[in-house]
Structures are given as C-alpha cells and as structure tokens.
Amino acid sequence: MTYDKPFLPDEFRRRVQDVKQRMERAGLDLLVCQDPANMGWLTGYDAWSFQYPQAVLVHLELDVPIWMGRLVDVNSAFVTTDLPPENIFSFSDHLVNHPELHPFDDLCQLIKSRGWHSARIGVEMDAHYYTARGHQHLVNGLPNARFFDSCGLVNWARLVKSKAEIVYMREAGRIVSNTMLEVISTLKPGVPQYQIAAEVYSSQIRGIDGKYGDYTSACPLIQFGDNTNAPHLTWTDKPLPKSGLVLLELAAARRHYHAPLARTVYIGKPPEEVKRLANVIVEGVDAVLEIAKPGEVVEEVDAAWQNILKRNGYVKKGRSGYSIGLNYPPDWNERTVSIRSGDRTVLQAGMCFHFQTGIRLEDFGAAISESFVVTEAGGERLTDVDRRLIVVD
Amino acid sequence: MTYDKPFLPDEFRRRVQDVKQRMERAGLDLLVCQDPANMGWLTGYDAWSFQYPQAVLVHLELDVPIWMGRLVDVNSAFVTTDLPPENIFSFSDHLVNHPELHPFDDLCQLIKSRGWHSARIGVEMDAHYYTARGHQHLVNGLPNARFFDSCGLVNWARLVKSKAEIVYMREAGRIVSNTMLEVISTLKPGVPQYQIAAEVYSSQIRGIDGKYGDYTSACPLIQFGDNTNAPHLTWTDKPLPKSGLVLLELAAARRHYHAPLARTVYIGKPPEEVKRLANVIVEGVDAVLEIAKPGEVVEEVDAAWQNILKRNGYVKKGRSGYSIGLNYPPDWNERTVSIRSGDRTVLQAGMCFHFQTGIRLEDFGAAISESFVVTEAGGERLTDVDRRLIVVD
C-alpha cells in the first residue's frame, strides 16, 4: 500500500530513546500508551481506531515499540508505522464489547509471554480512552506487576517540538488562517449557522496550496449573539442576525498537528464596550508574545496578560492557554503545560501554545487568540489573520 | 438564549423513570454517567465538552438528575436542559489538568453534601471518557461508598428508540443518503482524496430540506484501491486512480442521532470477483432485513447472513453489526447489542442497527451496509441509496 509517513525513521528513534530515558528516571520498565497522540508520536500509527482499546508498548529492553490493536487495524499499523511485523499484535475480536472479557486480557498475555509479568508498568491513568475498566483488566491480569501513573510522560516528551514537527505546525497555521478568512467572508445576516460550520469543515480539509488538512480534534466552536457565553455549544439552523457578535474558535490539523485560532466578529456597528474589550485582548496578547522567550516561566507569561487585563478593569478566571501539537479527538490541548498561575514550567524554544484569550463578561464574550511557537525573539505566531475585532458591515 | 430542545420534557421524564427502575433492579442508589450520549439522553445536555470530566447523576430519591461540569459549560447546561438551576453544579476550574487534584474531587464533595457518602454507586467503567484516574478519585474520595460497574445500564435503556427518536433516525438516514449520492458524484480519476472527504463533511452538515446535520461520531472512512483492507485509514492527497475500488463508510447525525451507511464503488470496469462479492452481500442483507422482526434473536440474524456467505464461499469474522442511535465521538456504536454469534438479545420494534457487511478478502474488500429500524414487517431501511456495486465510468 502507498502511504507517505510524516517523519523519517530517525525522528521516531529519537523519540523512543527520549521516552526510554524518561522511563528510567521514573523507575518504569514498561510503558503502556493508549493516548492516540502518544501512540502516533512514538510509532507513526495513524487511524481512526481509538474508539476501541489499543496500545503501544515501550520497554526499556526493546529498541522498537510494540503495537497491539484490533485485527481490523493491523493493516493500518503495517502501513503507517516502521514497526517490524513481529512487533504488531492483534486482540481476539470476540473480546471487543464483551460483557466479561476485555481486549486487555490479551494484552496481559502478551506482556506475560515476554517475561514482563512483574514489571514496573506505567499507564496513562488520565488519557481520554484509558477507561477504568481497561485498567482493571490490566491490574487483575498482571497480579505481580506494579502499576504507576505515567503522569503524561509521553505528553511531556512531546512538549518541545522538533524542526520537522514545526513545519507541520506552520502548515496547520496557514490552513487555519485561510479557513478563518474564508469563513468570515460567509458571515452575512440570514445565513443559517450550520452553513458556516459546513464551510469550516470543507475549508479545513481542502487546506491551501495542496497541503490538505486532517480532521481536527474538536468541532468548529462558533457562538452567536447571547450564546457567546456558552463556548462549547454547536450550530443550529438559526439565521445570523442583522447585527451582533460571532465568536469563532477553529483549528486546522496537518498530519494531526493542530493550530487553533479564535477571532471575534461583529456584524453591524459594534458597541464601544466590545471594541474596548477587543483592544485590550490584543494588547494583552502583544505582551504575551513579547515575553514568551526561552527561559521565561509560564506563570510569568500569564501574569503579563493578567496585568494588562487588570489595568483595564477586566478579570479572566482559569487558565489562559495550553500546549499544542499532535492531537486526536476530543481535544487539541496536549494536557501538559497550562498557562496560568502556579505553572512553573520554563519555556524552551520549540514549545507551542494556544494562547486562548477568551473573556466572558456578563452579557457578551470575546476572544482573539494566537497559536505561537517559542523562539529567541519571543512568541512567533503560527497564523496570519488580522488581530482586531473584525467588523462585517 | 434561544435553543430548540430536541425532545419534550415528558420524554426526558420517561427516560429518567426507566433508568431509575433499572437502577432499582440492579441494586444501585446512585448512577454517575460520564458517557456524553448517556448524559444527553437523560437531560438533553449537548456541548462539545466531553474532553473534560463531567457527569450527570441519577439518584433514586431525586425526580430530576444533577449535572456537574466545568464552569465554562454551566451556561450550556442551562440552555440545553430543563434541569432546575439548583441541579447544575460546576467544578473549581483549578482542578482541570491538575497533577494531583481532579474535578471529581468536587463531585465527591457534592455527593457527600447530599448524604450519599455510603451509597451503592453505579459508574460507567468502560465509557470512553471515564478514565482510570477519574475513577480512582471517586473511589478514594468516597471511602464508604460501594462502586459497581453499571455495565452500560443507560446504554441498554437507549436500545429501543421512542417515536420521537426514530424521527431523528430517519432524518439522519435522509441526510446520509443525500451525502452518499453527492459524494459518489465527485468520484473521478485524478480527484485528490481529501477533496472527497471535504465534500462529505460539507454535505453531512448542510443536510437536506433545511434539516441540518451535527458532527458525526467518527470521520468519513473512505478507502481506495489496496487500502480497502485498512478500513480506518483516513484521507491523503493521492489522486483517485483511473480504475479501482473505493469504499465509503459515512454517517449523518441529526440532533446527534446517527445513521451510518457504507457503499462500494468501482471506478472503471469492475472485475467479476468484485461484482460477485457485492451481489452476495446484497443477498445477505436481504435475508437480514427479512427476518429482523420483533421476537427474533440477534444471533439468528447473524446466522441468516453467515449462511448466505458460507453458501457462496465467503467468510466474515467478527461481528456483522451493532446498535445505533444517539452518539458522540469517537464512535457511533451504542456498545450494547452486537450482531454476532452468542448475542441472545431478542429484537423489539424500535431497535435500530447498522448492519455493517464489511468483507475483506486477501486483495480487496467491499461493504454495502444498511442502517435499519426493527418493525413488525422486518428491518426497515433508514437510508435510500441503491444497494449494488456502484460503477463510475
């Protein structure tokens, strides 16, 4: 089968080596990854198969990881990874959706067959698809093993992006910039909301200059008028009003690397309070991009933003951004660094963030976000859409 | 805020009543639902917020469920449900993505504050987003409670669809039929794969006759040529060849009710072996639709299909279909009934299934599936696309 792998074999080797070093430091012999982004980052594995149990195993003694999944997905593992055939295994199909048995029963057998029954095993306790039941079957099936929460060990290894990864991040940024502009051009009174969502999807995937997009880890998040205070509601058939706010939070994904972007649009003549909030947000993002250099501490980045909000009489609760990169549904947040008070992570060149900027007041909200990569010169934007309240007359 | 709820309050009351009866029979006082489809089915709650912990609680003593989620999603709960404000709670935002704390710590406090600290609590051990870590925080935070796997209690309650639900299933069927036809019309040699995927998304959401579509629980699954043996691979920029197979498995979702549909297309002159397999699949589905009446046992439906395959020299491993209805990413399978040997569920009018039909031979695969509702007259198709190998010249 024909398939263009997103990275050269060396890149995967480096990643596995890095993860094994982190495992040694954490005192783990074996790591069981179920997070599809971690599985993909370690091996290249890429298929919409995360609705069922599957795993990539990294063991200190192995040069190359092991993949285990459903029989129906074995060919996808052969096609998308460089793993040798002897490292690719399938569960018995009758274990799927079985009331008593579980595919991880077969995983336990595989682990035992390698002599790893008493290993110190790291598992991704809070990965989206690592269910309580899957964990129970692993623990019960390997009574001599000791289990530890990997605490996102691979997610943390993904934090600093390689040059090859940043190429995809920039391409995702170009796609989402194009999508945002295309979508804004469709915002006219009377257009039903779903038509705007349809345009987002189509544009995200068509991409730009022959660089197509993958499915993004969340749907387009678009809010209209008084729904701008409920940021995760999705589209309906309501027509766009003659005047009012539209908030768009979109992403594009290039080989599953995500660049999210939020913009605030006003149809008609914007009230002064909306213009003022937008201006303050842009000023706050300027401050963030200015100081987001290697060596800076994450919570100081948040403080720079909070100071500008405070000086202008606004309050933002909760975090103001998060690390981004390779991801799969349901989220494009890497679940490592949160830009908020208390996060003492030190910035390094090559880290990528979505600085989210959503501020929700009593009556309305606004967001003018940026995805950026940390460089010696500060945060470098991955996208290229005007940073202002966009007015559609 | 303006929002059209998908069902009348009575429908939700009946559902909660049904679930409480099932809880009594299962010996549960309290049910903690995290599956977004179960949360939505019980309360109407609908937002792309399942990337974070959230829950709907049903207690035998309460008439109405409790919703708990992130502060940012409280407005979505107000808008999309009929729950009274005193039944809507939010986690402290600093608990999100926290290395030691977890939003379910607040859920434990809520449960204790109601005096339910020693309740018999059902949890959805194998729901996609019910992570091992979330479970651990619940168990540790409620040391006097007893925890039980609900074993998909609400999923099973969802199995027989109400008349109001079947309206949405039929609408989803009409949308996906339209999408399939629109997409087939774009299949021409030289068209890049991603363009076809973009067309699927756009058409699914635009819908038909003013009935728009929601995001579907999985991406369009489209395979080309020799990749038809890797059914969960996604699109690339490869152009469609001058001749060869295209397998499409798509769905549409109407108010999140899903109708999936698979069709097999041949560009150019199809080989006899492909035509023959397609004909046998259609004959097998005929047999399935014929016997899928109330009172029939699920594994007999599978046997009818398997007999026709066997008589023609084909073998299908694994299950041949599953229950469908309301769903959220990453899967449109309800995770209850599997159409396969050993499933002794007795069919009832109003159950809905996707009869998947995918058969993968050494060199190629084919699928001509149907989504259907069980009626006294047999399985009634929800979709309306020619049931044959579709040839594009």
CATH of the domain at B277: 3.90.230.10
Coil, strand or helix at B283:
helix
Are B76 and A232 in contact (CB < 8 Å)? yes
Are A99 and B205 in contact (CB < 8 Å)? no
Token couple for A60:
């200190």
Within a domain: B1: no
Closest to B107 measured CA to CA, from B45, B196, B33, B173: B33
pLDDT score at B2: 75
Q: Does A153 share its domain with A293? A: no
Q: Does B240 share its domain with B315? A: yes
Cα angle A45, A48, A54 (rounded to 5 degrees) comes to: 60
On chain A, the residues whose CB falls within 8 A of the CB of B76 are 230, 232-233
Q: Does B138 share its domain with B184? A: no
Coil, strand or helix at B32:
strand
Are A127 and B131 in contact (CB < 8 Å)? yes
Within a domain: A33: yes
pLDDT, one tens digit per residue, over A88-142 is 999 988 898 888 999 999 999 999 999 999 999 999 999 999 999 999 999 999 9
Quick one: B378 exposed, middle or buried, by C-beta within 10 A (0-12, 13-18, 19+)? middle
Cα angle B253, B254, B255 (rounded to 5 degrees) comes to: 110
Q: Quick check: A104 and A137 in contact, CB under 8 A? A: yes
Closest to A198 measured CA to CA, from A231, A167, A176, A220: A220
Closest residue of chain A to B328, computed from CA coordinates: A330
Give me the average pLDDT of each 10-residue run along chain B (393 residues).
Answer: 91 98 98 98 98 97 97 95 98 88 98 98 97 98 98 98 98 98 97 97 96 98 86 94 95 98 97 96 98 98 97 91 98 96 97 94 90 98 97 93
Are A226 and B136 in contact (CB < 8 Å)? no
pLDDT score at A228: 80
Are A48 and B221 in contact (CB < 8 Å)? yes
Q: Quick check: A350 and A160 in contact, CB under 8 A? A: yes
CA pseudo-torsion sign A276, A281, A282, A283: positive
Q: Does B97 share its domain with B170? A: no
Q: Does A20 share its domain with A129? A: yes
Token couple for A101:
């048995």
Strands B88-90 and B30-33: unpaired
Q: In sequence order, which ranges of chain B are alpha helices (DSSP H)?
A: 9-26, 36-43, 74-80, 103-113, 132-141, 153-157, 163-184, 193-206, 272-291, 298-311
- Sheet with B244-254, strands from edge to edge, namely B221-224, B244-254, B257-267, B390-392
Q: Quick check: A323 and A356 in contact, CB under 8 A? A: no
DSSP-assigned letters across all residues of B117-144: TT-EEEE-TTSTT-BHHHHHHHHHH-TT
The last residue of a domain, from among A134, A157, A180: A157
Token couple for A72:
């129906």
Q: Does A327 share its domain with A207? A: yes
Within a domain: A214: yes
Question: Which of B34, B123, B133 is the best mutation test for A, with the most CBs of A within 10 A?
Answer: B133
On chain A, the residues whose CB falls within 8 A of the CB of B210 are 237
Closest in B73, B102, B151 to A232, CB measured: B73
Q: Name, in order, each residue with C-beta under 8 angstroms of A203's C-beta and a sequence gap of 6 or more.
A: A178, A179, A182, A183, B198
Cα–Cα distance, B232 to A72 (Å, whole number): 8
Q: Does A259 share its domain with A348? A: yes
Q: Does B130 share its domain with B175? A: no
On chain B, the residues whose CB falls within 8 A of the CB of A323 are none
Residue B239's domain comprises 163-392
The last residue of a domain, from among B116, B141, B157: B157
Please count the structural domains in chain A.
2
pLDDT score at B94: 86
Token couple for A113:
């067959």
Cα angle B352, B353, B356 (rounded to 5 degrees) comes to: 165
Cα–Cα distance, B178 to B181 (Å, whole number): 5
For chain A, give the percent of residues with pLDDT over 70. Answer: 100
Within a domain: B215: yes
Q: How far apart are the first and last CA of chain A?
A: 51
Res A2 pLDDT > 80: no
Closest in A73, A80, A236 to B4, CB measured: A236
Are A205 and B198 in contact (CB < 8 Å)? yes
Closest residue of chain A to B218, computed from CA coordinates: A48
* More confident: A318 or B145: B145
Strands A88-90 and A66-69: parallel
On chain A, the residues whose CB falls within 8 A of the CB of B237 are 210, 212
Cα–Cα distance, B316 to A108 (Å, whole number): 27
CATH number at residue A21: 3.40.350.10
pLDDT, one tens digit per residue, over A219-272 is 999 998 877 888 899 999 999 999 999 999 999 999 999 999 999 999 999 999
pLDDT, one tens digit per residue, over A142-201 is 999 999 999 999 999 999 999 999 999 999 999 999 999 999 999 999 999 999 999 999
Token couple for B30:
């309290």
b (16+ CB within 10 A) / e for A163-181: eebbebbbbbbbbbbbbbe
Within a domain: A44: yes
Q: Name, in order, each residue with C-beta under 8 angstroms of A31's C-beta and a sequence gap of 6 or more.
A: A19, A23, A57, A58, A59, A121, A122, A123, A150, A153, A154
Question: Which of B49, B205, B249 is the best mutation test for A, with the most CBs of A within 10 A?
Answer: B205
On chain B, the residues whose CB falls within 8 A of the CB of A343 are none
The last residue of a domain, from among A142, A157, A172: A157
Coil, strand or helix at B241:
coil
Closest to B96 measured CA to CA, from B134, B123, B125: B134
Closest to B124 measured CA to CA, from B26, B246, B197, B230: B26
Q: Does B131 share its domain with B224? A: no
Q: Quick check: A260 and A249 in contact, CB under 8 A? A: yes
Q: Does A153 share its domain with A261? A: no
Are A198 and B221 in contact (CB < 8 Å)? no
Closest residue of chain B to A334, computed from CA coordinates: B97
Within a domain: A1: no
Closest in B72, B198, B227 to A202, CB measured: B198
Closest in B72, B149, B205 to A197, CB measured: B205
Res A1 pLDDT > 70: no
Q: Can you name the residues that pair with A160 across neighbouring β-strands?
A: A351
On chain B, the residues whose CB falls within 8 A of the CB of A229 are 1, 75
What's chain A look like in SS3?
A: CCCCCCCCHHHHHHHHHHHHHHHHHHCCCEEEECCHHHHHHHHCCCCCCCCCCCEEEEECCCCCCEEEECHHHHHHHHHHCCCCHHHEEECCHHHCCCCCCCHHHHHHHHHHHCCCCCCEEEECCCCCCCEHHHHHHHHHHCCCCEEEECCCHHHHHCCECCHHHHHHHHHHHHHHHHHHHHHHCCCCCCCEHHHHHHHHHHHHHHCECCECCECCCCCCEEEEHHHHHCCCCCCCCCECCCCEEEEEEEEEEECCEEEEEEEEEEECCCCHHHHHHHHHHHHHHHHHHHHCCCCCEHHHHHHHHHHHHHHCCCCCCCCCEEECCECCCCCCCCCCCEECCCCCCECCCCEEEEECCCEECCCCEECCCEEEEEECCEEEECCCCCCCCEEEC
Are A233 and B80 in contact (CB < 8 Å)? yes
Within a domain: A57: yes
Rounded to an integer, the average pLDDT of A354-377 is 93
Cα–Cα distance, A391 to A301 (Å, whole number): 29
Are B195 and A207 in contact (CB < 8 Å)? no
On chain B, the residues whose CB falls within 8 A of the CB of A254 are none
Within a domain: B239: yes
Are A212 and B237 in contact (CB < 8 Å)? yes
Q: Does B126 share its domain with B209? A: no
* DSSP structural state of residue B201: H
Token couple for B259:
């109708």
Question: Which of A34, A215, A344 is the best mutation test for B, with the most CBs of B within 10 A?
Answer: A215
Q: Does A74 share its domain with A50? A: yes
